[in-house]
């Protein structure tokens, strides 16, 4: 038995150390990690995955802590992946989300793992997807992926989740501005956390307005102006899911039950409408594409090395003897030819 | 390089254990480790040995740095090391202790499996170098 097989067996047998080590290998992209993840795949598919995002200080970690505690009370096991930024200069990071996990200390059935956004953009979403698979195969009932919501990268990450909740702290117009820039589209549920603070009502109102503007917009599909009338319905008609707004005070646990109920509702909706399968299809499609993109990039890198690196090309481009497009064509042409030949067979 | 290119980063848990509120040293170390390119997980204050073990196992850290200034190292450190052993995590974790440890107690900690003890006046660079040189091969 190889070390990898032992590791997989140990993971499936419920050894925490093996799970931790598999995630490390995924993060490090250690030799053999691809085989590990391939083998895990058949054991996945039973966990419900929730993505939590929001600006720094919105209360994500505290909410995740309370969520985990509530799941545990119900007898479910929980896996958490918390992603923090890393320094673009040194690669170093301080991963501090663990400090907030005060309600679950000493409970090994809450598996909490901090990850840092190491370098590459695409790499992190691949690593997150794979780490979720490891937790899923391990047998976790619930998996929570927590990340700072600040841009495209984070949106990619939370796409690994079945349900996405966006946290909005009250009374900050700027955050609502941020939402307009794109996070609105990914939220299935908005959580107005710190709802005991001034301005929470206003934030809820603003969010509600935004959701309706979205509904009435040209992209709204079958949602018409009449959707506004039935704004408080959970599902306004046949297939649509209108983003829900929930108020919580994560620190005291207030509203957490309601939030979990809303998550549950969304899970049911996903199941009933077939959206769950559709999402999975899209996710696997994206995953395959990402892997292909990365692998072809490697292939090209190898080809470049075989040709003695980029320097000569760069010299030629600098001397105006050729240009970047021509160089790209030149390097790629034999590869394209080769692929074509293979396809024709 | 992307998919196959290995990206090994040293992961450290900086842990404050027991009734000891002095975290300046732990903060300084956490920061220095971060700037050295390590990934640092900080435990927060007043953690029990069990919590430290849970964090070290789940985070799969290469290095566990325990900061103790309360003088309770002779009870807390063995508990942590036993916990690590329970989860098969002791063998490939570099255990360090930082803080005030009287000379008479040092030998005992080394025997337990603590790799190094960094007392007052330790140089930050020495600590970082020690971690780089001794981080377990996995």
- A92 closest CB neighbour out of B7, B33, B87: B33
**What is the chain A residue with the closest CA to B9?**
A28
Domain assignment of residue A34, yes or no: no
Contact check, Cβ <8 Å, A28/B54: no
Q: Is B3 helix (H, G, I), strand (E, B) or coil?
A: coil
**How far does CA A309 lie from the centroid of its chain?**
35
Predicted confidence at residue A237, as pLDDT, reads 47
Task: Say whether B98 sits in a helix, a strand or coil.
Answer: strand
Same domain, A192 and A251: yes
Structure tokens at B27: 């903060």
Q: Indicate which CATH number applies to the domain containing A218.
A: 3.40.50.300
Q: Which residues in B lie closer than 8 A to residue A105 (C-beta atoms)?
A: 47-48, 50-51, 54
Report chain B residues whose CB lies below 8 A from the CB of A91. Answer: 9, 37
Distances (CA, A) of A27 to A85, A159, A287, A298, B14: 14, 18, 16, 18, 20
Count of CB contacts below 8 A, A vs B?
121
Q: Which of B2, B43, B88 sits opposite A123 (nearest CB)?
A: B2
Residues A98 and A226 in one domain: yes
Q: Which among B36, B59, B60 is the nearest to A92, CB-wise? A: B36
Q: Which residues is B12 bridged to in the sheet?
A: B40, B63
Residue A250 makes CB contacts below 8 A (sequence gap 6+) with: A59, A62, A63, A65, A66, A193, A194, A256
Per-residue pLDDT tens over the stretch B67-82: 999 989 999 999 999 9
Query: In chain B, what are the domain boundaries?
Result: 11-134
- Which residues make beta-bridge pairs with B66? B15, B97
Report the alpha-carbon distance of residue A175 to residue A182 in Å, rounded: 12
Confidence of residue A151 (pLDDT cuts 50, 70, 90): low
What is the tally of structural domains in chain A?
A: 2
Of A1-5, A293-297, B115-119, the poorest mean pLDDT is in A1-5
Q: Which two tokens stand for residue A97?
A: 């989300």
A31 domain residue, yes or no: no
pLDDT greater at residue A156 or residue B12: B12
Max Cα distance, chain A (Å): 70
Q: How far is B11 from chain A (nearest CA, A)?
A: 9
Among the candidates A245, A273, A301, a domain finishes at: A273
| Residue A130 tokens, joined | 């794979």
Contact (CB, 8 A) for A186 and A63: no
Tell whether A87 lies on the interface with B, counting CB pairs under 8 A. yes
ipTM: 0.88
Chain A hits for B8, CB-CB cut-off 8 Å, are 28, 30
Mutate to test the interface with A, among B58, B89, B137 (most CBs of A within 10 A): B58
CB contact under 8 A, A106 and B42: no
Closest-CA distance, B27 to chain A, in angstroms, reads 10
Domain that holds residue A131: 45-273
Give domain status of residue A5, yes or no.
no
Local confidence pLDDT in tens for the 138 residues of chain B? 334 456 678 999 999 998 888 888 899 999 999 999 999 999 988 899 999 999 999 999 999 999 999 989 999 999 999 999 999 999 999 999 999 999 999 999 999 999 999 999 899 999 999 999 999 887
CATH for B11-134 is 3.40.50.280
DSSP string, A288-344: HHHHHHHHHHHHHHHHHHHTT-SHHHHHHHHTTSS-HHHHHHHHHHHHHHHHHHHHH
List of chain B residues whose C-beta atoms are within 8 Å of the C-beta of residue A116 = 9, 39
């Amino acid at each position: 038995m190889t070390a990898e097989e032992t590791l997989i067996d140990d993971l499936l047998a419920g050894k925490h150390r093996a799970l931790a080590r598999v995630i490390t290998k995924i993060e490090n992209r250690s030799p053999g990690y691809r085989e590990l993840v391939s083998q895990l795949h058949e054991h996945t598919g039973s966990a419900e995955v929730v993505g939590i995002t929001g600006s720094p200080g919105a209360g994500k970690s505290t909410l995740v802590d309370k969520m985990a505690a509530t799941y545990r009370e119900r007898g479910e096991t929980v896996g958490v992946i918390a992603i923090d930024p890393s320094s673009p200069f040194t690669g170093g990071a301080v991963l501090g989300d663990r400090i907030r996990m005060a309600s679950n200390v000493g409970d090994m059935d809450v598996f909490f793992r901090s990850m840092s956004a190491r370098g590459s953009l695409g790499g992190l979403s691949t690593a997150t997807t794979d780490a979720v698979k490891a937790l899923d195969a391990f047998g976790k009932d619930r998996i929570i992926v927590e990340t700072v919501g600040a841009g495209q990268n984070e949106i990619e990450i939370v796409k690994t989740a079945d349900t996405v909740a966006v946290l909005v702290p009250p009374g900050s117009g700027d955050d609502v501005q941020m939402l307009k820039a794109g996070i609105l589209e990914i939220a299935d549920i908005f959580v107005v956390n710190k709802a005991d603070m001034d301005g929470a009502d206003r934030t809820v109102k603003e969010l509600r307005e935004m959701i309706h503007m979205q509904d009435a917009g040209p992209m709204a599909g079958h949602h018409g102006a009449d959707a506004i009338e039935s704004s408080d319905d959970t599902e306004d008609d046949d297939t649509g899911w209108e983003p829900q707004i929930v108020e919580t005070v994560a620190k005291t646990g207030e509203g957490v039950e309601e939030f979990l109920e809303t998550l549950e509702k969304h899970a049911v909706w996903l199941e009933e409408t077939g959206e769950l399968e559709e999402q999975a299809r899209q996710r696997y499609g994206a995953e395959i594409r990402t892997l292909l993109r990365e692998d072809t990039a490697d292939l090209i890198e190898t080809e470049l090395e075989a040709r003695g690196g980029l320097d000569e090309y760069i010299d030629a481009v600098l001397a105006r003897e050729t240009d970047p497009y021509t160089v790209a064509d030149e390097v790629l042409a034999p590869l394209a030819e080769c692929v074509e030949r293979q396809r024709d067979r | 390089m992307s998919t196959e290119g290995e990206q090994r980063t040293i992961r450290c848990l900086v842990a404050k254990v027991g009734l000891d509120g002095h975290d300046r040293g732990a903060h300084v170390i956490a920061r220095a480790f971060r700037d050295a390119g390590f990934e640092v997980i900080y435990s927060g204050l007043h953690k029990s040995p069990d919590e430290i073990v849970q964090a070290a196992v789940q985070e799969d850290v290469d290095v566990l740095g325990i900061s103790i200034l309360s003088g309770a190292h002779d009870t807390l450190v063995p508990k942590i090391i036993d916990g690590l052993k329970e989860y098969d995590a002791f063998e490939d974790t570099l255990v360090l202790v930082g803080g005030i440890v009287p000379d008479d107690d040092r030998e005992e900690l080394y025997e337990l499996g603590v790799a190094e003890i960094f007392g007052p006046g330790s140089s930050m660079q020495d600590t970082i170098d020690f971690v780089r040189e001794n981080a377990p091969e996995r």
